[in-house]
Structure 1
Amino acid sequence: MAKTSASAPRGRGRPQKGEPELSKAQIVEIALRLIDDEGLQAFSIRSVAKKLGCYPTAIYWYTPSRHFLIAEIITVVLRDVVPTADLTWQDWLRALFTRYREAIARHPNVAPLIGVNLVSNASVDLDLVEGILSKLHDAGFEGTPLINAYNAVIGGMVGFTTQEFAMVPPDAEDLQGYLSDFPDSIDAARYPQIAQLAEQMVGSAFILRWQNGATRPMSGAFEMYVDAFVSGLESQLHVKKG
């Protein structure tokens, strides 16, 4: 997957004598494993260096900052999300959204980092950008509407999945206890739909849950979301033609 990185200063210092031999790929691998195993709160340049048995300055020789290391981690996580080009634009977008969600499901603790990386310009995935633009152009979008549609795809691809795999709150057990009693506390006259559906929603619906998609996937809602998104783009093309 083609990628270009924004220019950045060289690392802060060469690895010191006696430190282990390192590579950027090794650093990224250890950093991702740390995030997977211990959570995002455990991730720092210092913690990665400790896992590698070196000083933090050795890490900075290969990546100028934590920010750029995050960009490299996201590149690894998302390296296989771009579908093959032989699909229709509708099926290509469905496959893109699905492959992105599957990539995040394998590394759910990375989800909060995605939005930051996509606005940072520390790493630009040219295959992803070109793939989306090409398929939307094939669909019939051009000029400013094409850019608008591209932005909508990025926002749509990231939005649902980032929310589905949001970080589990540290007080999840307390929240579970509170929400377990929630259905009985609803004023059915004022909130009839909530009262009717609360038992089904608690624990498995946005706002009313204490787990994320790693434990309680929201597959049905995701499929509806993707279908609605693609249908929405199709409707924009019909308006344009009309």
Structure 2
Amino acid sequence: MQQAEQRKRRGRPRRDEVVALDRAQIVAEALRLIDERGLEAFSLRELARALGVFPTALYWHMPGGRNAVLGAVAATAFSDVVPSPDDATGDWENWIRALFARYREALRRHPNIAPLLGAQIVSNTGVDMQLVECILAALEAAGFGGERLRDAFNTVVAGMLGYVTLELAPGPAEDASEWARAFEAEIRGVDAGRFPRLARNLDLLANRAFIVRWQGGAEKPMTHSFDFYVETIIAGLRALSGKSG
């Protein structure tokens, strides 16, 4: 009888565990663990162990489980990304520049959550709707409406996520140093007869351009190309907006 009662209680959190925890504490510890160990190694079991509680205590505060925690982690990591809403309806170009820069800065502080963004749509549960509202305001100020507003919105969001997620993509989890040495040797040993342009521009591109690099953006930032990328998106929006010309 006593064992059955213990088994029954094992599935529910103790009252002291529930009272001792709060949502902010859970999310902060989850973000710390992801920063430290990476997204693939993150689990609710490890999170509960780090907090000194049973996993059921986490579900009491966050019924959605792992997906709810990951959405909250994304919201916390990007809580200060949105520039001043008032600027969105004024100088829309500088507002978008600021948005891209702040997003990149936030993700550089927490590069291990990069795989969560875009690749796992559960991160949408952590989206600040103020971000959506302000992007729409900036694009309306630029002259977009109707279907073109939707297309421009998708362009801005994809652009915001795309470059930085690719820039901060991690290397292989195993034998990272050996892989980097082997790939660098392969790139630097390129056949100039078969690939003359790559060979001619090798010093310019090697480890400083996508596809031909062996270090991620956390170690080797690609800031100059990022600025060029942002200006390209803004120039395209300007050219396609209802106010162009």
8 Å contact 1:94–1:226 — kept in the other structure? yes
Structure 1 residue 175: Cα displacement: 2.1
Compute the displacement of 1:15 (Å).
2.6
Deviation at residue 126 of structure 1 after TM alignment: 1.1
Q: Which protein shows a greater Rg?
A: 2
| Residues in 1 aligned to 2:127 and 2:187: alpha-carbon distance in whole angstroms | 46
- Aligned residue for 1:48? 47
Q: Once superposed, what is the RMSD of the aligned Cα atoms?
A: 2.0
Aligned to 1:58: 57
Superposed CA offset, 1:184-230 (max 9, x none) = 53221221111112234232221122221111100011000000010
Q: Secondary structure at the match of 1:122?
A: helix
Are 1:100 and 2:112 an aligned pair? no
Residues 1:150 and 2:148 are matched in the alignment: no
In structure 2, how many angstroms separate the alpha carbons of the residues matched to 1:230 and 1:74? 26
Task: Answer whether contact 1:172 1:210 (CA < 8 A) is retained.
Answer: no
Structure 2 residue identity aligned to 1:68: A
Whole-angstrom distance in 2 between the partners of 1:68 and 1:175:
35
1:167 deviation in Å?
A: 2.1
Q: Does 1:202 align with 2:206?
A: yes
TM-score (norm 2): 0.86
Paired residues, number: 229
Q: Residue 54 and residue 176 in structure 1: after superposition, are their counterparts in 2 closer, same or farther (change >3 A)?
A: same
Match of 2:5 in 1: none
Q: Which residue of 2 aligns with 1:166?
A: 169
Retained in 1: the 8 A contact 2:81–2:102?
A: yes
Checking the alignment, whether the CA contact within 8 Å between 1:105 and 1:214 is kept in structure 2 is: yes
In structure 1, what is the equivalent of residue 76 of structure 2?
76
Cα 1:18–1:126 change in 2 (3 A) is closer
Counterpart code for 1:15: P
Aligned counterpart, 1:131: 134
Tell me by how many angstroms 1:155 deviates.
0.3
Identity of aligned residues (%): 45
* Bigger RCO (CA 8 Å, 6+ sep): 1
Amino acid at match of 1:149: A
Bigger Cα displacement from structure 2, 218-227 vs 35-44: 35-44
Asked whether the 8 Å contact 1:172–1:211 carries over to 2, the reply is no
Shift of 1:19: 3.1
Q: Shift of the alpha carbon at 1:39?
A: 1.7
Counterpart of 1:16 (choices 5, 14, 21) is 14
> In structure 2, what is the equivalent of residue 35 of structure 1?
34
Partner residue, 1:229: 233
Deviation, 1:118, is 4.7
Structure 2 alignment gaps of length 5 or more: 1-10
Unaligned runs of 5+ in 1: 1-12
The amino acid across from 1:97 in the alignment is F
CA distance in 2, matches of 1:68, 1:184: 45
The answer to whether the 8 A contact 1:40-1:110 is kept is yes
Distance 1:184 1:81 in 2: 39
Partner deviation per Cα, 1:10-57 (whole Å, 9 max, x = no partner): xxx753145371001000000000011122222110110010001111
Call closer, same or farther: CA 1:93–1:150 in 2, change over 3 Å.
same
* Structure 1 counterpart of 2:152, one-letter code: A
